[in-house]
Chain A
Amino acid sequence: MVVPLISIILLAPLAAFTIFALFGLAKRSFPRQDILSTAAMLVALGCSLYLLNETSDPKPLTVEWLSLGSITLSMGFYLDSVTVIMLIVVTLVSSLVHIFSIGYMHGDPRYPRFFAFLSLFSFSMLFLVVSDNLLGIYIGWELVGLCSYLLIGFWFEKDSAANACKKAFLTTRVGDVGMFIGMMMLFKQFDTLSLYGTDGIFEAVRTLEAGQIAWLSAAGILIFCGAVGKSAQVPLHTWLPDAMEGPTPVSALIHAATMVAAGVYLVARMFPILTPSSSLVIAYVGGITAIVAATIAIVRFDIKRVLAYSTVSQLGFMMLALGAGSYVAGLFHLTTHAFFKALLFLGSGSVIHAFHAMHAHHDEEHADDNEDEHDNHSLVHEHGSEIPPDQDMRNMGGLRRKMPFTFFTMLIATLSISGVPFVFSGFWSKDAILGGVLERAMGWNSVHHYILFGVVLLAAGITAFYMFRLIFMTFFGEPRNQEMHDMAHESPWVMVVPLLILAALSLPVVNKWWFKEGYINKPYQAHVHEPTHAQLRPDSKTGDTNFGFSNFGISEAEAAEEEGGHDTEHADDAHHGHGPAHTIAMVLSIIVAGLGILLSWLFYHKRRFTAESVATTFRPVYTLFWNKYYFDEFYNGVLVALTVWKSRLFAKFDLSIIDGIVNGVATITRAIFAAFIGFFDNRVIDGIVNRVAKVIWSVGGRVRRIQTGAIQTYLFVVLGGIVLIILIFRVL
């Protein structure tokens, strides 16, 4: 029963895409591609929900995919609670995005294509999720990248979109290469890429000797590189904000809820091979990402970019959780974030859609507006692309009465992401992360984790600040652009309904419906014996984590310890079972969230302070934030330029040196044997079919001179030739 269900989940969206492609080859398109794709997604959603209780057999299917003599690579499904949750998240968000898009994309010239691409994306993502081996994950992984490329570049007539999709693909590809190298390392060691079961990597990893820990750490970090790319972690995060060039539903589906979560999912899946040192690297990358992206988000004016940076920041939270060993917390935040971030994006889509209708005939004025606004912020300029007027928060304001549903649902999501206590799911998952990190810090007495805790706490506060900044600027206050405001309207029901459903899912109460207690509890447990504590703990006296030498089983054992700790909304479990760490974390998180909201209120609602004055006071810092820490400048100015320069150099080298040598040799040879080669050249070069006659003519003209007609001369030549030939043969 399980295998057919999974097959349906995979095949339904794939079929929707295939139908599109086949019709496309015949220069037609399927009459109702939107309905077809949406129906396919709903079918997949139904099957996923059915699988919720079907995780008893984790390996329902394995097929031999490649057999190379002694080595066999197999493909198969793996189904545990994490898989099911991911399946549901993906299908649910995807279904809602499909429905939303029916309204949002209405009237687009490439309307059917959009749905076909969404279907292909869903297929890829689902394939990634259910694969039981690294190769399958990698395949899904890259396909997801492709779909992302296609969807970001959906409006490819815009140069900014064309640039953005290329950037996204290439940046993630850099990470993927790292992942690929990691796969090669694992394959070299274990001769398999299967993860589970008796012959899988997770089992084999147990038999490694202590001397191979460093090697395994390297492999783990390399695999993590893939996640860095896909989940937009520093330093490969720059593609994600640019990816907002795609249609907003795409941003919601791919760049907030599912694809970027694939990186987190991968790290969670690979948990059993992470060593303490690779975990720490992951934690640091996550922490740095969280704070860097949050600080950048503060100063954005484009509503989608704010959300994009917030996504990057939240993904950093998840990575940090996994790196700190809070396996469950990471995955939990992944699911809650998927819903509220999808909601935020769709909400912003709704806002943009409201403005978009009249965007066309007010283009010029907005261009003027933009210029004015830019003058106000003359010390800063958005790099790369201008902010489209319908996405610029400085054009918004006071929309809450115009778009009540959108406002209400977005507010819920904002409260959730900001970590407003108790009634919103985001609070619980974020708290689980903070608690997990603090607990690890206290438990190991590790300086690293204390630092990380501080960083992430700060990031949480900043998150609350910029999210409320967004709400205040968009929905409160007076309309800044009256004309646009007048045209705005609430979105049609196909767009509002998905918002309402997502808003419901952002409340823990609804989550509980399917997110059962203790459903996700621990990572895959391959080991038969638990490592002893002595092996596990770092040297607590020095406070140094002594990474290279301690057993790598730490992270998973830690996670196992936290078993059942952060399951969903059970706040009581969260602090009761785990001592002081979680209580402290919770209190601190409430405080910082409150502070963030308060500051935001003061700045953007009450207008006690103006952002401009602060910006002038902390000018260097502000500039740094505004320019996104100059990552793009560095990449464009150094890496890309270097690559292009190198390629030009190689090409020039090829043309002038290598080819030059070849041609030079030819020239010299020609000069030496000028007469002979000249004759040969003429014969060979001219010896082309349509000019054969000509050649024979001209050659004949030359050769004729030999043909004196004097018989004796012929004889001389013939005999001389014979003598010569015989002499040559005698001599040789």
Chain B
Amino acid sequence: MRKAMAEYSPWWPGAPYRLAHRMKRNVPMAEYSALSLLRNALGGNRDWAPAWRKPEPKPTYDVIIVGGGGHGLATAYYLAKEHGITNVAVVEKGYLGSGNVGRNTTIVRSNYLLPDSIRFYEHSLKLWENLSHDLNYNVMFSQRGMLNLAHTPGQADDFIRRGNAMRHEGVDAEWLTPAEIGRMVPGLAIGGSARFPVVGGLMQPRGGTARHDAVAWGYARGADRRGVDIIENCEVTGFLRDGDRITGVMTTRGEIRAGKVGIAVAGSTGHVMKMAGVERLPIESHVLQAFVSESLKPFIHTVVTFGAGHLYISQSDKGGLVFGGDIDGYNTYAQRGNLPVVEEVMSEMVALFPGLARVRLLRSWGGIMDMSMDGSPIITRGPLPGMYLNCGWCYGGFKATPASGWSFAWTIAKDEPHRINAPYTLDRFHRGAVIDEKGQGATPRLH
């Protein structure tokens, strides 16, 4: 035991702080810390309580959040924490976190081009930086850096423009030379015979990865501890209405009423909104595949993206390389993709890291993306009275989880958007005030 402690002794310095923190707030046993872990271990781990309750739905709440994924749970958490609104239900059709929060490549960053995007995602990144403490749940946010590789001088200028945009918004961004990149990312095909030599890279040192499931579980536990009812296996089958106004939801576990109903079901937005009579939205549902290799000893230490294709890669703490590429590029609600994208992603992977050809793909899965018409999300009141809509996350939902929940909670609580989500309206499309990071216009598969 002592030897094990020595190897991992660094967790001890934290314990007193956690203890003091707990005593001050007088929260019961459920607080997690190195100390509680040790005490429980000695007791055979028999005293751990459920991370969240499994309550029966009440007939009425102040707010119902449809969707027990990262965004819905974060919304409930911040409604309770920031706005004191605790009479809240989160209804989830399956198990908690069964959507994209558990199906992504876990990347967290705020390295965007357009000021509206930078401000929103930077707000998110700041929340991430304190999230484990805030939730008393280790979401394993590892700020190992986010590196975008550039392969032509023109691309380098584009990336530097983005880096400069970030710097002008007070966000960290650095330019790395090929030599610096070579030292940071061993095994990378930098130059020489490489078809797409690396001419440089934009680094956001504060970017990184987090443990995706832990984010859902941490928010769930945090919301639950503040009184929010999290109701799993409760599928919404329709909306309760008073005229135009949404007054609650019909579910497989009965009718539930509320003054406000927030929808946070990215991936199922079209399906759920259809029940509310909204047939058309500026969204298509697409599948994005993600991949994990077999577990390896540490191979790559930052998050890296390939600029001559579409590939992003990092390594999980368990050792699997986690990576992904483009969406399959067609409307679907099936959480599985097809071979051409698998082959494209692997081809880019070995082009970038020619040594990985002998490493093996272990698992693949698909998540359904709300691809919007400009590649940016929607966080807004409406489109019906009593309803609030959070959707259109394209690929970018995971890193946005804290700010999405935070700003959606604000919008629901105050009936107006916060400054950071004010641009993300539904009517921006009609006004022509799109937030189009890629400049591709209304072709969702290209965002």
Does B bind A? no
